[in-house]
Amino acid sequence: MNHCLDDRSLLEICTGDGEPAQRAHLGACLTCARRYRRIEEDLASIVGVLKRPPALPLEARPAIMPLWRWSLAAALVIGAFFCGRLSGLSLSLPQSMMASQQPADYASRLVDENDALADPSYTSSMDDLLTPVDAGPEFTIAGQGQD
């Protein structure tokens, strides 16, 4: 019958939780002692690695931006570039070209408004508006100004 200890029991001995009977077996069994030594060595090297302080700050952030983010950023930059070019084109046009590009109905509307201002009936209506208020009905305060 095989009384050899399993890995869990060997680990318990290794971490100080083993039973005296298990320890006694470990002292007598060469196979278990060998396995125990391997666990002990592995644990020591793992703990040694984890205990060593890092020289640089630890970080588990992605090393590079995901591809879709790069694509989005590139699309935005290209879009902004074209938008900038189009708006820059209209702004950089000479004044004479800008004037010639104004719509024809806008020019005709300016002429109409000018004519309307020069119209005599329009000026007379404006004169009516500017006439003094004394031409209108008088407002008096009750009990005052009546002899």
Partner 1 sequence: MASDRREEMAAKSQVWSEYERLHAAHQARIVGLCRLLLRDNEEAQDVAQEVFLRAFEQLRTQRIPEVWEAWLVRVAVNACRDRQRSAWWKRRNRNVEISDLEAERGLWSTEDQASDREQRARIWASLAKLRTKQREVFVLRCVEGWSTEETAMFLSISAGSVKTHLFRAVRHLRQTLEQK
**Is 73 a binder of partner 1 (CB under 8 A)?**
no
Q: Is 47 a binder of partner 1 (CB under 8 A)?
A: yes
From candidates 1, 63, 129, 130, binder to partner 1 by CB under 8 A = 63
Instruction: Give the interface segment with partner 1, choosing from 4-12, 102-110, 127-135, 139-147 (CB under 8 A).
Output: 4-12
The kind and range of the H/E element at 64 are: none
CB neighbours of 3 closer than 8 A, spacing ≥ 6?
A: 25, 29
DSSP 136: S
Check residue 39 for interaction with partner 1 (CB under 8 A). yes
User: For residue 132, is it left (φ>0), alpha (ψ between -120 and 50) or beta?
Assistant: beta
Cβ proximity to partner 1, 34 vs 51, nearer residue:
51
Alpha-helical regions (H) of the chain: 7-14, 20-28, 30-51, 67-91, 95-100, 104-118, 120-130
Cα(4)–Cα(33) distance, integer angstroms: 10
Residue 33 binding partner 1, by CB under 8 A? no
16 is an interface residue for partner 1 by CB under 8 A: yes
Tell me: does residue 85 bind partner 1 (CB under 8 A). Answer: no
Q: What is the DSSP letter of 55?
A: S
142 touches partner 1 (CB under 8 A): no
Binding site for partner 1 (CB under 8 A): 7-8, 11-12, 15-17, 39, 42-43, 45-47, 49-63, 66
